[in-house]
Chains A and B, each alone.
Chain A
Amino acid sequence: MIKNIDFRICFSVMTILTVLVGLFQSWGIALSMLNLCLISAVMAMGVNIQWGFAGLINFGVMGFLAIGGLATVLVSVPPVHEAWSAGGIGILISGLFLAAVVISVFMINKKLSKHKYKNYFVFLIIILSIPLLKFIAGPSISKIESINAATSGFLGGANLPIIFSWFVGAILSALVAFVVGKVCLGLRSDYLAISTLLVSGIIITIVKHEEWLSRGVKNVIGLKRPVPYEVNLQESEWFINLVQFFNSSKLSNVLDPEVKISLLNQLVISSSGVFVKLCFSLIFLVVVFVILYFSEKALNSPWGRMMRAIRDNEEAARAMGKNVVKQHLFIFMLGSAIIGFAGAMLVTYDGLFTPSSYQPLRYTFLIWVMVLLGGTGNNYGAVLGGFVVWFIWIQSAPFAMVVINLFTGHLDETSYIKDHLQNSVPYFRYLMMGLGLLLVMRYRPKGLLPEKVIKN
């Protein structure tokens, strides 16, 4: 077996595969796949920072992605003024109350850290605050949700360009990660895994059911975009000229002017979609490169060395005077911020926020497969994992279809088994992922691109 695959070879292979998809399926499919690969790569880098650098198991990826998604709504959607005037004050007061509870819990933890009954105080405060919070916020929430329930029924956002929301998503995620980390990070690895999984479940429930905040299961559609809209492109002069320029050979073959115009129209419509996706790809590429650059810098800096030392031998690092608890909390926040950033990117790309679509298998464990398959502790590995796994994820359905047709070809068209298998094609991707993960863990436990051991 090849011990060390060069990352350049891997990425060339992935590029060629994407181009092949473009040539054989369509450029639209290839580009949307590329975009999701890039977003997945960002998510995988976030998890890799937590797991690969510091050895923290975070099974709450889905929750932080949803927080990023929520940020897009809070930042970009225009505010609903009636809702604000109806219940805004109540919500603000309860927000202040919640902040006061959190701060007082932290104060108690800090000031009374030696006190015998410290934990009981904290417990009491939290238990009392829940009914109180409900009492304060309840009337305003029902007022807000009753205003134009069919079209809005929520507070709306700040009406800012959506690109800000990526950073807001990162900051919100980091804040939530701070609270979660304070509570959970002291736990053993498997407890941490289970509690973060529970936390992500709670976050999804909040996003799903607090309709005044996110419209919940009613979804938010038609979010803003950082790139032009297809309709506007199709009407703009320069874009039509551009399409004409790229397809000049195709167009010059057509002699009839009317046919020529209709062909040009078709080309403009189809390439406007591709152009929009291409713009997204460029923005995402920049994001991936920036994060990759800084992650690599961090990994090779003294700080990265310290993180690896803490990961490999916590006791020794502690004995050398490193503050393990603080560093763990910091890296948990950092990784979660990147995951939140990716979550906002994902929702921006989709153009809609659907809280009910967040499922742990797709948004937590798939990202983990990316990191484990790509190479734990190696940033290039995480990016590669994002690419490979998303590629397989998308292409496994057509592949499974081909295999099923191969094996059931002799069966009748109306055969129950054939019909049933064809209907369950989407689930073959889970099978591929599972088998892929098991094989990698067995035969290449450090992933496709293993962590580089730097020796001084």
Chain B
Amino acid sequence: MDFLNSIILLTNFIIVPGITYGSQLALGAIGVTLIYGVLRFANFAYGDLMAFGTMVVILMTWYLQSKGISFGLLPTALLALPIGILLTIAVSLFFDKTVFEYYRNKKSNPVTFIVVSLGIMFVLNAVVRIIIGPNDINFMDGHKFIMKAREFKQLTGLNEGLAIKSTQVITLVTTIITCSILFYFLNKTKTGKSMRAYSNNEDLALLSGIDPKKIVLITWVIVSILATVAGTLYGLDKSFKPFTYFNNLLPIFAATIVGGIGNPLGAFYGGFLIAFSEIGLTYAYKKFFKYIMPESLEPSTLIQFISTDYKFAISFAILIVVLIFRPNGIFKGKVI
């Protein structure tokens, strides 16, 4: 019984939140890695692009709610998602046309790209704050819990409860759907293959008659979809605050590099690796050991490796460790 309790405890506090957070990071990291691979720079405006997409979704949600439209048990935000995606695509393409295209044609060095992405970061940051403000916004509606801790306890008769929020299931399902479509597209379709070819070797791809403009366009479309979906899922699960979205950029970058730059599958696993390390290393295991240890050996301290405040340090440590031991990432990425 104690053993079962301890398992449930870990599932409730590490596995379920880890899968959710990991999915959100993974979606974000795939976006960053695609930009890295195809357009060849680290896009610092990505966090604010996520915030922008989520903002549109929130505004649309409010509009739908004011019209009395809802999605039943599911959050209304899912209905608003397509509009958010469309507008985010429009914004991405606008910035690509007005800003990035010029430097791409000039073949500027990656640092110049980073710097102009900073400029776009400032602009998007301002736009989001001017339109929706800098405050915390909770836009989750619909059914909150699929399984409440109390219900689970009554159902199984265990001491520990297992709570599953509907946003956690939505996140997982959406991630599975999005990633399956994406990987099918990248690996099986002609356009996806040409995209990978372009990312692998630009000159050879051009020689084979691949149209770079089309590749860039498709990349921005995919990236905008991923950014909006990841941002909305994160916002539904926690809450929407522009500053948090900027901060999420750091674990997303770490996940991208850990997984190997330009490698979408690597970024996917990287997201989960970062999420599970963050949650696993900041969790206090006192209760867990209480269940599995004999009473005489019960721990007196919290048994927490590092305090929750230092979760940045975990991303950083993983990043540095990976860069020292495997400079190209765990799943071999490429060096651009």
Contacts and interface: CB of A to CB of B under 8 A. Distances in A.
Contact of A183 (B125, B134, B243, B320): B320
Contacts of B181: none
A191 B257 contact: yes
A304 interface: no
Contacts of B121: 365, 434
B77 to A, nearest CB: 22
Nearest to A57: B111
A5 B102 CA distance: 25
Nearest to B125: A430
Tell me whether chain A's interface is mostly helix, strand or loop, or mixed: helix
A183 B324 CA distance: 9
B295 interface: no
Interface string A86-123: 00000000000000000000000000000000010001
A197 interface: yes
Contact of B115 (A187, A428, A441): A441
Interface string B130-172: 1101100000000000000000000000000000000000000
Contacts of A372: 115
A351 interface: no
A372 to B, nearest CB: 6
B42 A190 contact: yes
A380 interface: no
B102 to A, nearest CB: 7
B312 A198 contact: yes
A91 to B, nearest CB: 17
B315 interface: yes
Interface string A144-161: 000000000000000000
Contact of B312 (A201, A421, A428): A201
B326 to A, nearest CB: 11
A208 B312 contact: no
A214 to B, nearest CB: 13
Interface in A435-456: 435, 437-438, 441-442, 445
Interface residues of A, number: 46
A318 B245 CA distance: 41
Contacts of B243: 359
A281 interface: no
B316 A195 contact: yes
A198 B42 CA distance: 15
A208 B254 contact: no
Interface stretch (B7-15, B21-29, B302-310): B302-310
Given A201-B250, A438-B116, 14 more contacts: A183-B320, A188-B335, A189-B110, A195-B323, A199-B316, A201-B312, A202-B313, A202-B316, A359-B243, A361-B246, A369-B118, A427-B129, A428-B130, A430-B126
Interface of A: 57, 119, 123, 130-131, 183-184, 187-191, 193-195, 197-199, 201-202, 205, 208-209, 359-361, 365, 368-369, 372, 421, 423-424, 427-431, 433-435, 437-438, 441-442, 445
B151 to A, nearest CB: 36
A197 B316 CA distance: 9
A435 B123 contact: yes
B41 interface: yes
Tell me whether chain B's interface is mostly helix, strand or loop, or mixed: helix
Contacts of B335: 188
Contacts of A191: 257, 323
Ranked nearest first, the 3 interchain pairs of A and B with the lowest CB-CB distance are A434-B122, A434-B123, A430-B126
B299 interface: no
9 contacts: A190-B114, A194-B254, A195-B316, A195-B320, A359-B243, A361-B122, A368-B115, A431-B127, A437-B122
Contacts of B111: 57, 189-190
Interface in B245-266: 246-247, 250, 253-254, 257
B126 A428 contact: yes
Interface in B167-201: none
Contacts of A445: 112
A39 to B, nearest CB: 21
B90 interface: no
Contacts of A201: 247, 250, 312, 316
Nearest to B45: A434
B321 A130 contact: no
Nearest to A197: B250
Given A365-B122, A434-B122, A198 B254 contact: yes
B250 A205 contact: no
A431 B123 contact: yes
Given A202-B312, A427-B129, A437 B119 contact: yes
A442 B103 CA distance: 9
A176 B136 CA distance: 34
Contact of A209 (B307, B315, B316): B307
A421 B246 CA distance: 23
A427 B126 CA distance: 5
B99 interface: yes
Nearest to B319: A195
A131 B305 contact: yes
B112 A198 contact: no
Contacts of B125: 361, 427, 430, 434
Nearest to B256: A194
Contacts of A438: 99, 116, 119-120, 123
A424 B247 CA distance: 22
B110 A430 contact: no
Contacts of A430: 122-123, 125-126, 129
A195 B116 CA distance: 19
Nearest to B122: A434
Nearest to B250: A198
A123 B250 CA distance: 22
A205 B309 contact: yes
A193 B114 CA distance: 9
A437 to B, nearest CB: 4
Contacts of A435: 119, 123
B118 A437 contact: yes
Interface string B283-310: 0000000000000000000000111011
B134 to A, nearest CB: 8
A349 B125 CA distance: 28
Contact of B120 (A194, A421, A434): A434
A50 to B, nearest CB: 13
Nearest to A187: B323
Contacts of A187: 323
Given A194-B257, A198-B319, A368-B118, A441 B123 contact: no
A429 B99 CA distance: 20
Contacts of A424: 129-131, 133
